[in-house]
Structure 1
Amino acid sequence: MGLAEGFQWLNGSFTENIELSEQRAPRDIDVVTFTFEGDEFYDGLQPDQLRLLGATREDQSFIKNQFKVDFYVQSLTDAPERLVEMASYWYSMWSHRRSKQWKGFLRVDLAPRQDQEALAMLKARKQELAHE
């Protein structure tokens, strides 16, 4: 789709070792994409591409059901007050477990220049796991 500038915040029960603590697999992943893309980018997308960005509640339900992802996009070109408001919202939602215990979430850079290095690291780790 071309979202290559910005970053994502990733969260979900996988960040809490839910497999060990509750002996179950994660049910979904939560993703907020922070991007500098503006109206020109969105105006150039096809309807099926726009749907994958979760523009409406119906689109968000589709993404959740189809891919097991709670997905949101936040423009970094919004007014500073809006950015602070939304960052505060996500932090308040994601910084604690339901038990009130503190927890973290992940930040992933969207820069494609790091893709090859990340892929090499994943392949190396996969080989390590295969030999354990």
Structure 2
Amino acid sequence: MIPELNQSGVLPPFIPEQGPTNPAGMAPYRSTITEFVSRYAQSPERITILRGLLEYRQKLRAIGITHGFQWLDGSFVENVELNLGRPPADVDLVTFAMRPTLDLEIWKGIVNDNKELFLPNESKEHFKCDAYFVDLNTHPIHVVSNTRYWFGLFSHQRESYLWKGMVEVPIVCADEEALEMLDRGIGNA
């Protein structure tokens, strides 16, 4: 469940009633893609970004990336319209997933053939996603290091250092239903 924004216009880093030591009440908040779309389809700009996100996720699954989850964050999950007077430009995300193959040469070929999924500048251009990938098939030391980095980066606003939360969505979810929701005009746009 995605909690309401706090008085600072961001997701709280934890649900105050549950405290910061209860894992069930702290970020990243587990959600479904349909809940995420329903929550954030509030303007034409946000809907465009959500369509890009859904396309990005579909292309990940098409190349065999199905076992994992994504952390979604950035100004997209904040009230950036009120706080900064502008719509979000993209959604920040990190995909934590198993590779579809253990053969490194095949994997390198998949990455090279799908650079728009793995190079942030290209994913921004194609999908409005500032996207990064953490390979869960690597050594646990690297997984922990990457997780520490992304959690540290995503749990604070870049400019103000305000502590905030993020959303976690499984890669395999009801994306078709989420797209249908957008097609039906869900949200306040």
Deviation at 1:104, TM superposition (A): 0.8
Secondary structure in structure 2 of the residue aligned to 1:83: helix
The number of aligned residues is: 121
Q: Residue 174 of structure 2 corresponds to which residue in structure 1?
A: 115
Deviation at 1:80, TM superposition (A): 1.3
* 1:35 lines up with 2:94 in the alignment: no
Q: Residue 48 of structure 1 corresponds to which residue in structure 2?
A: 113
Cα RMSD after superposing both structures: 2.8
Q: Deviations along 1:70-123, whole A, 9 cap, x unmatched?
A: 211111121111111111101111111121211111111112xx417x827x73
Give 5+ residue unaligned stretches, structure 2.
1-62
Q: Residue 166 of structure 2 corresponds to which residue in structure 1?
A: 105
The sequence identity of aligned pairs, in percent, is: 34
* 1:63 lines up with 2:123 in the alignment: yes
Give 5+ residue unaligned stretches, structure 1.
none
Deviation at 1:66, TM superposition (A): 3.1
Secondary structure in structure 2 of the residue aligned to 1:53: helix
Q: Residue 75 of structure 2 corresponds to which residue in structure 1?
A: 13
Q: Which amino acid aligns with 1:92?
A: G
CA distance in 1: counterparts of 2:111 and 2:75, whole angstroms? 33
CA distance in 2: counterparts of 1:102 and 1:86, whole angstroms? 19
CA distance in 1: counterparts of 2:186 and 2:98, whole angstroms? 37
In the alignment, is the contact (CA less than 8 A) between 2:116 and 2:126 conserved in 1?
no
CA distance in 2: counterparts of 1:47 and 1:90, whole angstroms? 23
After TM superposition, the runs of 4+ consecutive aligned structure 1 residues lying more than 3 A away are: 38-41, 43-48, 126-130
Pick closer, same or farther for the CA change 1:99–1:3 going to 2, 3 Å.
Answer: same
CA distance in 2: counterparts of 1:53 and 1:128, whole angstroms? 27
Pick closer, same or farther for the CA change 1:47–1:87 going to 2, 3 Å.
Answer: closer
In the alignment, is the contact (CA less than 8 A) between 1:16 and 1:103 conserved in 2?
no
CA distance in 2: counterparts of 1:39 and 1:53, whole angstroms? 19
Q: Which amino acid aligns with 2:166?
A: F
Pick closer, same or farther for the CA change 1:46–1:85 going to 2, 3 Å.
Answer: closer
Secondary structure in structure 1 of the residue aligned to 2:87: coil
Deviation at 1:42, TM superposition (A): 2.4
